[in-house]
Chain A
Amino acid sequence: MIWLLEKFLFKKNLETNHILINEITNENKSSRIVLILLKAGLIFIAAYCTVAGLLDTFKVPYSRMVIIIAFIIGSIYFGMVYAHKIVFYSGYIIFSFVFLLSIVRYYMEANSGFQAVINTIYKSYSDYFNLASIREGQEFFENRYYTVTVAAIFFGIFLIMLLNITISGYMNVLETILITFPFIEIALFINKIPSILYLIGLCFVYMSVAILQFSKHSRLQVKGKHTHEFTRYSRKNNFYYFYQADTKIFLFTFIMAAVISVPLCFSLISVSNKETSKIPRNAIHKQTNEYVKVYIQSGFTGFLNGYSSTGGLARGKLGGVSQVRPDFETDITVTYAPNNYETIYLKGFTGNQYNNNLWTEDFIVNDNGTNLGVYMKDIEAIENTREYPFGNDAKMILENVGASTDFTYAPYFVNRDEILLDHLNDDNKPVYTISYHPMTSRTEFEPIYEDKLLEDEFYNKYVNEYCLQSPDNITETLESTLDLIGLEKSDSYTNEERLECARKIYEYYFNNFDYTMAPGSTPRNRDFIGYFLSEQHRGFCAHFASAEVILLRELGIPARYCEGYVIPLSLVDQNGAITEDKYEDFYSGSSIVDTNAVITVDINDSYAHAWVEIYLEGYGFVPFEATIPSSEDDNFNLAMFNFASLFSGIINNNQDIDDLETPTTDATGLLGTFAFLNNITAYTGSVSKIVIIFISLLIFAILMYLFVKFLILRIKLMIYKKNNDEYHLVKYEYDKLTAKMRRKRYLTKENPLPEDVKKAYNQYINDYNIKHKKPINVNTEELFRYYEKVMYS
Chain B
Amino acid sequence: MKILIQTVFLYLIILVAFIALSIIYNQPALLIFIFAFILLIPVSVIIFSKICNSFEFHLSSTAPSVETDNDVNFLFSYENKSVLPLFTANVIFHAENRYFPNNAKQTLSIPLSSRKNQFRIPITTSEIGLVTLKIEKIIIHDYMCIVKKEYFPHLELSVPVIPPKGIERDIPAITPQDGLDEFEESEYKGNVSSDVKEIREYRPGDRLQRVHWKLSAKLDDLFVKEMAHTSSLSIVILPELDKENINNTIKTLISCIDTLNQREDRFELCAFNNNTFEFTYFSINGEDTLIEALTFLYCQPLYEGKDIALSTYEASVNKPTTIIHIVGNRISLGETSI
Contact = CB atoms under 8 A, between A and B. Distances in A.
Contacts of A240: 106-107, 109
B24 A282 contact: yes
Interface string A14-27: 10111111111111
A241 B90 CA distance: 9
B122 A18 contact: no
Residue among B28, B113, B126 with the highest chain A CB neighbour number at 10 A: B113
A284 B24 contact: yes
A366 interface: no
Contact of B121 (A21, A28, A252, A272): A21
Given A26-B117, A237-B104, A238-B107, A19 B131 contact: yes
A14 B104 contact: no
B85 A248 contact: yes
A128 interface: no
Interface stretch (A261-269, A330-338, A614-622, A747-755): A261-269
B31 to A, nearest CB: 9
A271 B28 CA distance: 8
Interface string A226-243: 000010000001111111
B105 A238 contact: yes
A241 B125 contact: no
Contacts of A25: 119-120
Contacts of B121: 21, 24
Contact of B100 (A18, A238, A239): A18
A17 B126 CA distance: 10
A238 B111 contact: no
A22 to B, nearest CB: 4
Contact of A239 (B24, B36, B107, B122): B107
Interface string B15-33: 0000000001111111011
A272 B26 CA distance: 10
A309 B118 CA distance: 73
Contact of A19 (B100, B107, B114, B117): B100
Contacts of A272: 27, 29
B175 interface: no
A282 B25 contact: yes
Nearest to B107: A240
A94 B149 CA distance: 50
Nearest to A276: B26
Given A237-B104, A248-B114, A22 B122 contact: yes
B110 interface: yes
A215 B122 contact: no
Nearest to B84: A252
Contacts of B126: 14, 18
Nearest to B141: A215
Interface in A4-61: 13-14, 16-28
Residue among A21, A216, A284 with the highest chain B CB neighbour number at 10 A: A21
Contacts of B145: 214
Contact of B104 (A238, A248, A267): A238
Contacts of B118: 26-28
Interface in A322-352: none
A58 B103 CA distance: 63
A101 interface: no
Interface string A264-300: 1001101110000000111111000000000000000
Interface in A236-258: 237-243, 246-249, 252, 256
A242 B102 contact: no
A248 B111 contact: yes
Contact of B26 (A22, A217, A282): A282
B33 to A, nearest CB: 5
A280 B24 CA distance: 11
Interface residues of A, number: 47
Contacts of A284: 24-25
Contacts of A260: 36-37, 40
A215 B88 contact: yes
Contacts of A252: 85, 87, 113
B33 A241 contact: no
Interface residues of B, number: 49
A135 to B, nearest CB: 28
Contacts of A263: 32-33, 36
B71 interface: yes
Contacts of B40: 260
Nearest to B25: A282
Interface in B33-47: 33, 36-37, 40
Nearest to B23: A282
B223 to A, nearest CB: 52
B108 interface: yes
Contacts of A14: 124, 126
A190 to B, nearest CB: 15
B127 interface: yes
B29 A268 contact: yes
Contacts of A270: 29
B95 interface: yes
A218 B250 CA distance: 46
A237 B100 contact: no
B95 A19 contact: yes
B26 A280 contact: yes
B51 interface: no
Nearest to B124: A20
A272 B28 CA distance: 10
Contact of A24 (B99, B113, B122): B122
Contacts of A237: 102-105
A21 B119 contact: no
B10 to A, nearest CB: 10
Interface in B75-109: 85, 87-88, 95-97, 99-100, 102-109
A24 B110 CA distance: 11
A19 B123 contact: yes
Interface string B230-246: 00000000000000000
B111 A17 contact: no
Given A268-B30, A272-B29, A21 B95 contact: yes
Given A17-B100, A17-B102, A18-B125, A283 B24 contact: yes
A27 B122 CA distance: 13
Contacts of B281: none
A268 B123 contact: no
Contacts of A241: 106-109
Interface string B293-335: 0000000000000000000000000000000000000000000
Contacts of B102: 16-19, 237
A246 B109 CA distance: 12
B23 to A, nearest CB: 9
Interface of A: 13-14, 16-28, 214-217, 230, 237-243, 246-249, 252, 256, 260, 263-264, 267-268, 270-272, 280-285
17 contacts: A13-B104, A17-B104, A18-B97, A18-B102, A21-B106, A24-B108, A24-B122, A25-B119, A215-B88, A237-B105, A238-B106, A242-B109, A243-B88, A252-B85, A264-B36, A272-B29, A282-B25
Given A18-B97, A246-B111, A252-B85, 11 more contacts: A20-B125, A24-B122, A27-B119, A28-B117, A237-B102, A238-B104, A239-B105, A239-B106, A240-B109, A241-B106, A280-B25
The 9 lowest CB-CB distance pairs between A and B, nearest first, are: A248-B113, A271-B29, A17-B102, A18-B100, A246-B111, A27-B118, A22-B122, A267-B32, A20-B124
